[in-house]
Homo-oligomer: A and B are copies of this chain.
Amino acid sequence: MSAAMVIAIDAMGGDHAPEMVIDGAALAHSRMPALRFQLFGDEARIQPLLARHPRLRDGVEMRHAAHAIAPTDKPSQALRKSAQSSMRLAIEAVRDGQAGAVVSAGNTGALMALARFVLKMQPGVDRPAMVSYFPTARGESALLDLGANVECDARNLVQFAILGAGFARSVLGVERPTVGLLNVGAEELKGHEEVRAAAQVLRESKFGFDFHGFVEGDDIGAGTVDVVVTDGFTGNAVLKATEGTAKLISSFLGLAFRRSWVSMLGYALAKPALDSLRAKLDPRHYNGALFLGLNGVVVKSHGGTDREGFASAISVAADMARGDFNERIHADLDVFDHRSPAPPDAPPVKAAS
């Protein structure tokens, strides 16, 4: 079978690994029976878990890994002691063409460092970016970078736009995505120098997506564009702030419904509708941040997720492995390279050259 349909799984990553991971893989397999898994981890702990999922067993290849990266390991430590770790072996399966993608709920910094070390950057991309997608008033939109790079130059932002557009094609199913650059105002003169320089390149180049221009923070929820591009500092702050707002409103709502027996009755009547809303906004459905820009698909699941969330992360990995992500972004990276042949460490693109 094609390696594209094989997902390498770090069975030892995450707060509730390996149990949650195996349960999540079983759930994903029940939904996508054509998927195959390579499970990397402690065989003695995993085999009994597999016994609970007889149907999954046929779709699984067990690969013993003697070590596991700890959640507290710094990326440098993880790199040094990674040789026989489940995380590293799973990434190597992608490098060696045995799997089309890797999924881990383990240590984010270690996963990024190992993935970058083992897979290397894709030609034409200077730095990896983290992307995920979110519900909006118009459907779903992607946001990147979510924290891989705290400082970004114009070149990085343009490449993130290309990568994000590729993600929107493969995972959101949008053939020609619209892309916006996050800024403090819609006027052309506002914002960082880097943001303005990136906007100029995006405006003047013929990429396989439509550059919408600048967007502001409230355009994310409004779904103004399919892809919102920003630096990793802002993207991480915005991502977590919106999660915090959703949590706050949800807790306020709970308090409001419990205020009197009449409002509790109201809640009981509206519960089916509210439950479907809750399902729509369920963060587990949006679990699975992708590292883009590497020679291989790497999906980071939230460490504290459950099987439902882990199955979502596997589904994102499968969408990416199946799609023609690389071929499609290749053309856009070529357009950009042709325009700006600067080496990776060159200063930001200032203007049309």
Residues of A within 8 A of B (CB): 135-137, 147, 150-151, 182, 184-185, 190-192, 216-222, 230, 232-234, 236-249, 251-253, 255-257, 259-260, 262-263, 265-274, 276-277, 280-281
The interface centre, meaning the residue of A151, A240, A253 with most chain B CB atoms within 10 A of its CB, is A240
12 pairs, A vs B, C-beta closer than 8 Å? A135-B248, A137-B248, A150-B191, A182-B237, A184-B232, A184-B237, A221-B245, A221-B247, A241-B241, A252-B281, A257-B270, A262-B272
> Given A150-B190, A217-B240, A266-B271, 10 more contacts at CB 8 Å?
A137-B251, A147-B184, A150-B192, A184-B233, A184-B236, A220-B241, A234-B234, A241-B241, A245-B245, A266-B273
Residue of B151, B184, B244 touching A192 (CB-CB under 8 A) = B151
Chain A contact residues: helix, strand, loop or mixed: helix
Residue of B nearest to A189 (CB): B74
Residues of B within 8 A of A236 (CB): 184, 216-217
In the A-B complex, list the 10 residue pairs whose CB atoms are closest, starting with the nearest: A217-B240, A266-B270, A266-B269, A221-B244, A218-B244, A217-B241, A263-B273, A221-B248, A256-B277, A256-B273
Chain B residues in 8 Å Cβ range of A255? 277
What B residues does A192 contact at CB under 8 A?
150-151, 233
A157 smallest CB distance to B (angstroms): 13
Which residue, of A137, A221, A262, has the highest number of chain B Cβ atoms within 10 A?
Answer: A221
B residues within 8 A CB of A245?
220-221, 242, 245-246, 249
Taking the closest CB of chain B, its distance from the CB of A101, in whole angstroms, is 25
Q: A147-B184, A269-B263 are in contact. Are A217 and B191 (CB under 8 A)?
A: no
Q: In the complex, are the beta carbons of A241 and B244 less than 8 A apart?
A: no
Contact, CB under 8 Å: A218 / B243:
yes
Assuming the contacts A219-B244, A220-B244, A248-B137, asked whether A259 and B276 have C-beta atoms less than 8 A apart, the reply is yes
Evaluate contact between B267 and A270: CB separation under 8 angstroms: yes
Contacts of A265 in B (CB 8 A): 266, 269
Q: Are A150 and B221 in contact (CB-based, < 8 A)?
A: no
